[in-house]
Structure 1
Amino acid sequence: MAGKPKRSTFRTRLEDMVTTLQSDIVTGKLQPGDFLPSELTLAEQFQLSKNSVRKGLELLLDQEMIEKAPRIGTRVVGTGRNEKLTLKFGYYPTLTLEANLLELVEKFQQQHPHIVVQMIPLSNSYFSQNVKEAMERDGLDLITLNTQNYETVTETGAVSDILEPLERKNSTYPFLSGPFTKDNHLYVQPFIFSPIVLCYNRDHFKEAALPEPDSSWSWNDVQKAALALTQKHDRIGILFHLQSINRWPLFLLQNKVVFERDQHGKLIFNNDNFRKAMQTSLGLFEGMNPDTVYMSENDSDAERFFLQQKTSMIVTSYYSLNHLRNAEFNYDIAPLPYSLEAKTQLLIIGLAVIKSSKQKEAAQAMLDFLVSNEAQLHIRKTTLTIPSVKTAAEWIGEETLARPSRFFMYRDIIPTFSFYTDMNVTFHELETMRHILKLYWARLDDFETVCRRLRDAY
């Protein structure tokens, strides 16, 4: 017959009960006015005697977190004498525009007045260091991650040692979780997403008596239209930041490029599909201003020129459409033109709880809020970004923003959504390629020379 449980076991269970109830109250899972489970239920849940449960509740009474309601039960009062806790949230600064993040954080803090959210903007250079060490050094609790930065995080160690596994949300689009899943565990909760699309000035097309782009357009069609729309010393037909990690790989995806590797694991470059992809990217700006390919320093430049009506078409994302909220002309979007097949790159930004966080419950509470229907619907109504929750993204009602007439087009092109990882290549390998391809796009290297440089680099 087993002996009686040790006193330390009872003490551990009692501490577990008290800590759990404190956490539920502090993080807002239990709100003021809510009633705690009965003493009997708590006794069964934590395998304690009713006397032990009462001792634990007395501690919460002393902290002014609960109160006894005679013949009714035990009611939550608030966070009591507990100090406010600080939640450190590492975020992409662009989200203040793309997701109205500051408004969402304010709403969260109104609902959880005991949690003070310290916003820590993350620069591009943040992910060029050992991210695990940086997150621990900065004491981050919650962080935003896109697919590229998630890959960088996982390169610093086992993802299970860096990020907390998360519960899958059935409310989100199912295709968003794949890139953030490892060994059947989800480590980043999808927050917002966007495919890359073509955006065009409808007034310019009307003036030139040109048909507007649709899903049948190839890059050849775009080039012909761009030449017709270009006006010397006034505007160019098409512009985008070709060197962006979210732009030039589109031509690889659309030309069915899947990189093979040799026996040493090095990438093999000299293949026909890779050649065709590079020729398409190089020839797109043929006949226009020769400096067009270098007119932009980053993705946002294209939206700025488009807003000034200095370009008629841009390759962009739903995220970047937010720069066009105050456009004083008619514009719309169309599926990305195709090469060998219709493909577009899918961009996803998600939320992750840091394994080393000392405020995991609060971090999870904020994550849950940001992917709640309330927050996701706020994104849908107040931005041009697509939220990850399907019902919020597809909400139909009175609009407060001017939207492209084809805003819901993304639902029709879901089968074309692709990731750079589909090409058997990593983010860092693509970055190395990009640096070497600069000379090719400047017409200072031919394709054979580029392939030789790429082989030497690997």
Structure 2
Amino acid sequence: MRVTAKAGVGIVAAGLVLTGCAAGSTGGSDGGSENVTISYTNFISNGGNEENLQTIVDAFEEENAGITVEVTTLPYADYATALQTDVAAGTVSDVFDIEYGGFAEYQANGVLAELDVEDPSVYRQSVLEAYQADGAQYALPSSFSTVVLFYNKDLFDAAGLDYPSADWTWSEELAAAEALTDQDAGVWGDHQPVSFFEFYKVLAQNGGQFLNDDGTAVAFNTPEGIEAAEWLVEKSGTVMPTIEQGQGTPDFDTELFTSGNLAMLHTGIWMFGAFADVPFGWDIAVEPGNTQQASALFSNGVAVSADSENQEAAQAFAEFLTSSDVMVQIRLDAGWELPAISDEAELESYLTRGDPENRQAVFDSLDEVALQPVVGEGQQEMQDIMSEELVEAQAGRKSVEDALASAEERINAVIGG
């Protein structure tokens, strides 16, 4: 396993400064009471998995007599604001959900308790390591998803081309995309969003990194970065539609693929359901790289409050919620995101659930991952600037070199580099 992109910690939001108050626990300290109540605030179950979460909680309570878990479920859209408010007020739950993108900021503020994981080997190491800082564990991964290469088997068959394979590089992908593109017929060979989220990944695939080692400045304005940006923007109008043709608009790529007019699509495994009933054969492969492979990894995690009065019980619940057999079975049965466990035997049923046939690629994509660069309160502005500058290059209003130079200057001004 190799993590191929740096995740830096920069500016810390003032609203996250701890007040020193105790966490929102209703029970006594560990070891000082037979009965302990811990609180858990989440967004992962909102929208249809509330009962599934309760089943996991019930199983935990049955195995851990004397520990009661009080669950609060919030909509994803409200969760980040609510968590920041609770942290600032000192009322954060004993256990709470956290996205990888927000992990570094909370960890830098001392919000998260350091965890002594009983058996780290039960987790996928690349996902587990996403929630580490200075060699210590500060959250546990509850689920993951990755970006892979989707492809239309019928279009490949009609063109007499071999399907994408695990050893493909950018050059093989581009050659296939060129052969499959028929603009007169409205058929395109490839689609990859021109955005921050794709750029940091292809940068890693080309041996570069988005931030410097300590996360205080960008490091993408390099030959590797220029080549990575060119890989994205030069597809437009050649093997991928232009902005004027709709590229970049919401759901454009999904509709193009489901219509049968797109041969290859870079997107996440969360799209399996959306493509389940398309009238053509399709499958997936690990995304090609240039000098190496690197797949974008997205993950939700579970953290324990550093101020929890019941940290032992809280950590026991966090581990059960992220690694127990009960949790794995419920998630797989419900199609409720993938658990970040290492035992592939437990996940075997996932591999045989129909299209895509090559579901093994989901797990293979974890061998080398590109983690989202994170900087703190300037995160959204950094992402927006990068996407804006790449689109300027895609539209031909700037050269790639000028776009990256501008992005470097603007982002460094935001993050203090």
Give the drift of 1:365. 2.6
Cα–Cα, structure 1 residues 352 and 310, in superposed 2: closer, same or farther, change >3 Å? farther
| Matching residue of 2:348 | 396
Is the contact made by 1:254 and 1:342 (CA closer than 8 Å) also made in structure 2? yes
TM-score under structure 2 normalisation? 0.73
Secondary structure of 2:98's counterpart equals: strand
Aligned: 1:22 with 2:26: no
Task: Please list, as runs of the form range in 1=range in 2, the aligned pairs for 1:209-358 lying within 5 A after superposition.
Answer: 209-231=160-182, 232=184, 234-245=186-197, 247-258=198-209, 266-267=217-218, 270-287=221-238, 288-291=240-243, 295-297=247-249, 302-356=253-307
Q: Could you tell me whether the CA contact under 8 Å between 1:269 and 1:454 is conserved in 2?
A: no
Shift of 1:374: 1.5
Whole-Å separation in 1 of the counterparts to 2:151 and 2:367: 23
Distance in 1 (CA, whole Å) between partners of 2:229 and 2:350 is: 44
The root-mean-square deviation of aligned C-alpha atoms, in Å, is 4.0
SS at match of 1:387: coil
Alignment of 1:99-118 (within 5 A): 101-111=49-59, 112=61, 115=69, 117-118=71-72
Find the aligned partners of 1:104 and 1:384 in 2 and give their Cα distance: 9
1:338-364, Cα deviation, whole Å (9 max, x unpaired): 223322233332111334567864685
Paired residues of 1:306 and 1:312 also in contact (CA < 8 A): yes
Could you tell me how far apart the structure 2 residues matched to 1:191 and 1:347 are?
Answer: 11
The Cα shift of 1:281 comes to 1.2
- 3-state SS, counterpart of residue 212 of structure 1: coil
The question of 1:443 aligning with 2:396 is answered yes
State the one-letter code of the partner of 2:397: L
- For residue 378 of structure 1, what is the amino acid of its counterpart? I
| 1:208 and 2:159 correspond | yes
Question: Secondary structure at the residue paired with 2:241?
Answer: coil
Structure 1 unaligned runs (5+)? Answer: 1-14, 28-86
d(CA) in 1 for partners of 2:149, 2:96:
30
Q: What CA distance in whole angstroms lies between the structure 1 residues aligned with 2:404 and 2:353?
A: 47
Change (3 A) 1:217 1:109: closer
Match of 1:453 in 2: 406
* Matches of 1:140 and 1:304, distance apart in 2: 41
CA distance in 2, matches of 1:175, 1:456: 32
Instruction: Summarize the Cα distance change of 1:195–1:399 in structure 2 as closer, same or farther, 3 Å threshold.
Output: closer
Identity fraction in percent:
17
**Residues 326 and 16 of structure 1: CA distance in aligned 2, closer, same or farther (over 3 Å):** same
C-alpha contact 2:131 2:138 (8 A) present in aligned 1? yes
CA distance in 2, matches of 1:417, 1:203: 29
Deviation at 1:107, TM superposition (A): 1.2
CA displacement at 1:251 relative to structure 2: 1.7
Q: Secondary structure at the match of 2:176?
A: helix
Q: Structure 2: how far apart are the matches of 1:259 and 1:16?
A: 43
In the alignment, the residues of structure 1 paired with residue 350 and residue 209 of structure 2 have an alpha-carbon distance, to the nearest angstrom, of 44
Contact 1:92 1:144 in 2 (8 A): yes
**Is 1:167 paired with 2:121?**
no
Answer yes or no: is the 8 Å Cα contact 1:150–1:180 preserved in 2. Answer: yes
Question: Structure 2: how far apart are the matches of 1:320 and 1:146?
Answer: 20
Query: If the length of structure 1 is used for normalisation, what is the TM-score?
Result: 0.67
- The Cα of 1:199 is off from its aligned counterpart by 0.9
Q: Secondary structure at the match of 2:147?
A: strand
Task: Work out the CA distance in 1 between the residues paired with 2:152 and 2:328.
Answer: 29
Q: In structure 2, what residue type is equivalent to 1:143?
A: F
Q: Secondary structure at the match of 1:319?
A: helix
8 Å Cα contact 1:336/1:342 also seen in 2: yes
Larger radius of gyration: 1
Letter in 2 for 1:289: P
Q: Which moved more, 1:182-191 or 1:287-296?
A: 287-296
**Separation in structure 2 between the aligned mates of residue 348 and residue 293 of structure 1, nearest angstrom:** 33
**Residue 442 of structure 1, CA deviation:** 1.9
Compute the displacement of 1:453 (Å): 1.8
1:378 maps to which of 327, 330, 335: 330
1:120 aligns with 2:133: no
- Partner residue, 2:130: 179
Structure 2 gaps, min length 5 = 1-27, 63-67, 413-417
- What is the letter of the counterpart of residue 406 of structure 2? R
Q: Deviations over 1:196-253 (max 9, x none)?
A: 21011212222332221112323333233334434546443322333152x2222211
Distance 1:16 1:279 in 2: 57
Say whether the 8 Å CA contact 1:285–1:292 is kept in structure 2.
no
2:368 pairs with 1:419: no
Mapped contact 2:186–2:261 kept (Cα < 8 A)? yes
CA distance in 1, matches of 2:132, 2:328: 22
Cα distance in 2 between the residues matched to 1:442 and 1:153: 37
Corresponding letter in the other structure for 1:118? T
Amino acid aligned to 1:388: A
Which of 190-199 and 395-404 deviates more?
395-404
